[in-house]
Amino acid sequence: MKLWGGRFQKETDTLVNDFNSSIQFDGRMYKEDIMGSLAHAAMLAEQGIISREDAAAITAGLQEVLADIESGKAELTSDNEDIHMNVETLLTAKIGDAGKRLHTARSRNDQVAVDLRLYLRHEIAAIKAEILDLQKAILEQAKQHQNTVMPGYTHLQRAQPISFAQHLLAYGAMLCRDVTRLEDCERRMNECPLGSGALAGTTYPIDRWNTAKALGFDRPMTNSLDGVSDRDYAIELMSALSVLMMHLSRFSEEMILWCSWEFKFIELDDAYSTGSSIMPQKKNPDVAELVRGKTGRVYGDLMSLLTTMKGLPLAYNKDMQEDKEPVFDAVDTVKMCLPVFAGMLRTMRVLPENMRRAAGGGFINATDCADYLTKKGMPFRDAYTAVGSLVYYCTTHQKLLEELSLAELKEISPLFEEDVYEALKLETCMGQRSSYGGPAVSETSRQIDELEAFVKEHQA
């Protein structure tokens, strides 16, 4: 008979049984479910709601259940619907009546809410650690390439010279916000719903601060209906993960472009690429493509739970059992993507000559040429127009700006002097962009120091 079988005259239809059960996916929260029960039982005893003997039997029994589940000795079954009823059934089979007292002053509604928060809390810590490791991989590469000139792009058109370090450090900075977004989410998540009961608290003299503290929460949630009803913490986590995946997806897209023959800025390690079954020459960036692809899946997970929640009246509704699969999928996906991405980044071969060659074309020193005239006294807007006509001249004469003779330059403006050639060197153009946050080595060094300090500070 079901734990809730008292009111019923018939067995559950087998189709309904399978349809209703969530053990296939909530079974993974067995440890959190047991932690919650341990804290609950201890509190019940301290408050004199159950006897100390019963609490001791429950504690010992739960520890055995935990060991049995971990060793595979205990089986979690859909006959017991979900993880909460599976654990309770296993416990009662071991210790009898004391096990039946565990559910005093508690409901599965506050139980599932506390389990999920506990579960996601440690997943956040694991994801954070993986992001920090990816940032370390970025740092390793950035340190090698502060002087590696590459074209910076806007509209995917060559724009101004930057260094490869500067480009990588942009992602390093985005990932800092991903880390702090997770920390914010964790902070808001860290309130305890246990003791909310089914929805309206309980008539027993429970101590919600006791269980909240025992489980490492900052405090009990302030409202019992809210405690069992909201899943904003799971949604917030999936939003943060979606933003993180959006960053990884853009990074992936660039890795894919960079290792194409059209760019050839990098070459992926054999261990991080795959071949084609028909084209013998192919070396494909499948890892980056999959990270980009899986981003859609994480967005879908977020949309799924947002949609599930949007029309639900307070308090608990069974619809909310649909929260777990998307949030677990999002967490699992991100946890798969981060380490493989970091490995791909660590092992890639950077081809600075090709980056330099690409930076040489496309007139990416045109802004610097205008700045040269501006510094000699010409208003910037006039200088901009003058250099525009120089670029046009160059395109019709198949020349680069630095290949023009001083006579040709002087036709456009008498302000051009011999020192223009130094000013137009890409190394100069990049090296002089030393404004705060710019690509000059002085600034990439500062960014590297900052990122290193961030990683150290946020490591557990």
Binding site for ligand ARG (CB under 6 A): 22, 26, 82, 108-109, 112, 316, 318, 320-321
Return the closest-CA partner of residue 438 out of 152, 222, 183, 202: 152
* Shortest Å distance, C-beta 65 to ligand ARG: 18
Distance between CA 249 and CA 113 in Å, rounded?
Answer: 32
* Shortest Å distance, C-beta 22 to ligand ARG: 4
Return the closest-CA partner of residue 266 out of 161, 167, 337: 167
* Shortest Å distance, C-beta 4 to ligand ARG: 9
* Shortest Å distance, C-beta 321 to ligand ARG: 4
* Shortest Å distance, C-beta 325 to ligand ARG: 10
Among positive and negative, which fits the CA dihedral 13, 19, 22, 25?
Answer: positive
Distance between CA 324 and CA 75 in Å, rounded?
Answer: 21
Q: Which is nearer to ligand ARG, 123 or 371 (CB)?
A: 123
Q: Which is nearer to ligand ARG, 20 or 59 (CB)?
A: 20
For the chain, how big is the Rg over CA atoms in Å? 30
Q: Which is nearer to ligand ARG, 245 or 305 (CB)?
A: 305
Q: Which is nearer to ligand ARG, 151 or 227 (CB)?
A: 227
Q: Which is nearer to ligand ARG, 7 or 456 (CB)?
A: 7
How many CB atoms within 10 Å of residue 45? 18
With left for phi above 0 and alpha for psi between -120 and 50, is residue 50 left, alpha or beta? beta
Positions annotated as catalytic residues are: 155, 276
Q: Which is nearer to ligand ARG, 116 or 132 (CB)?
A: 116
Distance between CA 224 and CA 287 in Å, rounded?
Answer: 45
Q: Which is nearer to ligand ARG, 211 or 252 (CB)?
A: 211
* Shortest Å distance, C-beta 116 to ligand ARG: 8
Q: Which is nearer to ligand ARG, 210 or 321 (CB)?
A: 321
Distance between CA 91 and CA 86 in Å, rounded?
Answer: 9
* Shortest Å distance, C-beta 111 to ligand ARG: 7
* Shortest Å distance, C-beta 327 to ligand ARG: 11
